Amino acid sequence: MTADVKSSPRERLLEAAATLTYRDGVGVGVDALCKAAGVSKRSMYQLFESKDHLLAASLEERAAAYVVTLLPPADGDRSPRERIMHVFDRLASEAGAPDFQGCRFLAVQIELKDQSHPASRVAHRVKENLTAFFRAEAERGGASDPDLLARQLILIFDGASARAGIKADTPTGLVAPTVTVLLDAAGVR
């Protein structure tokens, strides 16, 4: 990664953290982050309390794009079933990219183990929000048990994302039929 001279040191650090942690994991060192951003350690610590806070800020910055990429627009034209399927269609599309390594928010939680870590808290909130989306759509669609269906859907989402991220499988042709069975069984319209 090359540092963009037009962006601020903060922006370059956030981008370096996003790129390197997605590619190499949260164990990437401060030296590597600073080198990729073209920023001194001193500057990094002036901008962020710690590497942990840099990672959290980087995830926070990526959260809005994640939601925009996955969730359907808030229009009234799609049924709850179609809105849920949209998320899984987006996952299949994203998983087809050569650099796809799974859901960055799930990966952070798995790697860190510590649920009180600032980055883990951000990741947990983002995943809770996706589960809440599934639950709201399931309820709107008349699901017999919206809470259970939301938990099942996030399980399918995270499992498919993880397996695609490690190149063990692809969600295309597998996830949509699985989700359809769940939606049918729950009575979602």
Which of 10, 27, 48 is the endpoint of a domain? Answer: 48
Number of domains forming the structure of the chain = 2
| Statement to judge: residues 44 and 63 lie in one domain | no
In a domain, 54, yes or no: no
Summarised one tens digit per residue, pLDDT across range 8-58 is 999 999 999 999 999 999 999 999 999 999 999 999 999 999 999 999 999
Query: What pLDDT is stored for residue 3 in this prediction?
Result: 47
In a domain, 17, yes or no: yes
Quick check: 4 pLDDT over 60? no
- Residue 160 makes CB contacts below 8 A (sequence gap 6+) with 88, 91, 95, 169, 171, 174, 175
Give the CATH number, domain containing residue 13.
1.10.10.60
| Statement to judge: residues 20 and 76 lie in one domain | no
DSSP 81: H
CA angle 161/167/173 to nearest 5° reads 65
Per the listing, tokens 């960055």 go with 104
> 82: phi > 0 → left, psi -120 to 50 → alpha, else beta; which?
alpha
Quick check: 116 pLDDT over 80? yes
| Statement to judge: residues 5 and 37 lie in one domain | yes
Provide the CB-side half-sphere exposure for 140 (13 A, CA).
14
CA distances from 50 to 21, 47, 117, 179 (A): 15, 9, 11, 41
Quick check: 155 pLDDT over 80? yes
How far is CA 118 from its chain centroid? 16
Give the CATH number, domain containing residue 81.
1.10.357.10
| Statement to judge: residues 66 and 44 lie in one domain | no
37 in Cβ contact with 7 (< 8 Å): no
| Residues of the domain holding 29 | 1-48
Quick check: 109 pLDDT over 80? yes
| Statement to judge: residues 43 and 107 lie in one domain | no
| Statement to judge: residues 84 and 140 lie in one domain | yes
Query: What pLDDT is stored for residue 75 in this prediction?
Result: 76
Looking at every residue in the chain, the average pLDDT score rounds to 94
In a domain, 129, yes or no: yes
CA separation for the pair 3, 11 (Å, rounded)? 10
In a domain, 18, yes or no: yes
